Structure 1
């Protein structure tokens, strides 16, 4: 998959935040509430890539960030060569291809069948499970309280079943016994859908599938990277209740902790 890139000669010089080390291999521009940025946070964590983390208030974009990325969107990675890369899935693939070796565990399975499965799950994610989940919680990126109706419930259940159909009975994660790019791409939305469905729709996401899907959710929640990068549920709910939207990313209720 081709990555999108641009040069930013007028961007601020490469900098490492105090919380990061001088060994940072790239700059990562993010927002704590954004599920797409959360994908890249997970990829960086699983790949063990030292990086400088820059938080961006997307509701009030600072001029310096628009110099880095004129589109004004996160996530963004800026390399030491001052290349600016964006689009969350492309960034996950770029990280996996750029940082290899025993210090950087792969996100793409080595087994051909599992690798092809990961590619299929990633390709289908945005238009399949994620679209069905957004529709379930309210349609578009907004929230609607109450029962979403049989049709939306059936659509989401069908997408969960498609994910389960890809999994083997012995799989811990979506594509085998280790987390892969498929887990990284889907998990931020699973995490948010679970919370939103419980809060607004009185529904448990884990109960919409069979044993394999609920088992996968349990194993993901045990991973230290997932636990460390999980958004604060109380703050997330406060933001959602204030805006009734999943895609409004400010720092009035969110904070700039590790996620």
Structure 2
């Protein structure tokens, strides 16, 4: 939404994002659930704004710039920052040690094979099928968990679900027909519930790429949304 122009405009954290990036996606999920508002700056990966590069030369999203000048450059740190301000659905309380292990696995080995599965032509050392099978080790772990409980770490959607779901979405999208027929029915249902949720719809709204001197665009303040 475009913010009105009050006499004394509040100062919001600046959030650089790219709609389809799974790291930015999971940061947006936490910001939305927290009920905070941030100044959204949607970027184009092929034309990164100098304002972003000046505060975060690594050139990847998401990036959060706080009003005091502190820069948070990692998606999980942005999630934790948002939820530390306000955590109405208790995502941080649903973080047993094995949840951290799952996220580390997602961000490590699984992301490694996901990239090679998605862009197999860039990695000819193995076939796409081999890369997919290596990624399936993680899918099988998630399936086992979801056969026991509706969500990855219990009965309610939490930080681990939000941190991992954007990457499973990306894996499934490489070959939707294969994923639909794969031996992971609980994982398929979990992903479908996520993709059809109001929360996902809220964080996937389209915004035009930000340019200097554009009006303020606020993102967030969705705390009333229930994931499923």
Structures share fold, TM-score greater than 0.5: yes
Which TM-score band applies after superposition, normalised by the shorter structure?
0.7 to 0.9
| 1:97-112 aligned within 5 A | 97=84, 99-100=85-86, 104-110=88-94
Give 4+ residue runs of structure 1 displaced > 4 Å after superposition. 19-25
Change (3 A) 1:64 1:134: closer
Aligned equivalents of 2:154 and 2:5: distance in 1? Answer: 32
Q: How far did 1:223 drift?
A: 1.9
Q: How far did 1:121 drift?
A: 1.1
Verify the 8 A CA contact 1:20 1:52 in the aligned structure 2.
no
Deviations 1:159-207 (A, max 9, x none): 21122234452x2222223222211221222222222223xxxx43244
Coordinate RMSD, CA, aligned: 3.4
TM-score under structure 2 length normalisation: 0.75
Which residue matches 2:101?
Answer: 120
Residue number among 35, 46, 67 corresponding to 1:48 in the alignment? 35
| 1:54-73 aligned within 5 A | 54-73=41-60
Which residue matches 1:204?
Answer: 178
Aligned equivalents of 1:121 and 1:223: distance in 2? Answer: 22
Verify the 8 A CA contact 1:37 1:74 in the aligned structure 2.
yes
- Higher RCO, Cα 8 Å, sep 6+: 2
Aligned equivalents of 2:118 and 2:69: distance in 1? Answer: 39
Q: How far did 1:53 drift?
A: 0.6
Deviations 1:17-55 (A, max 9, x none): 638995675221111232211111111112222111112
Which residue matches 1:237?
Answer: none
Change (3 A) 1:83 1:64: same
Unaligned runs of 5+ in 2: 211-216, 221-228
Unaligned runs of 5+ in 1: 1-15, 233-249
Change (3 A) 1:168 1:119: farther
Residue number among 171, 188, 211 corresponding to 1:214 in the alignment? 188
| 1:170-189 aligned within 5 A | 171-189=149-167
The total of aligned residue pairs comes to 208
Is 2:3 aligned against 1:18? yes
| 1:85-96 aligned within 5 A | 85-96=72-83
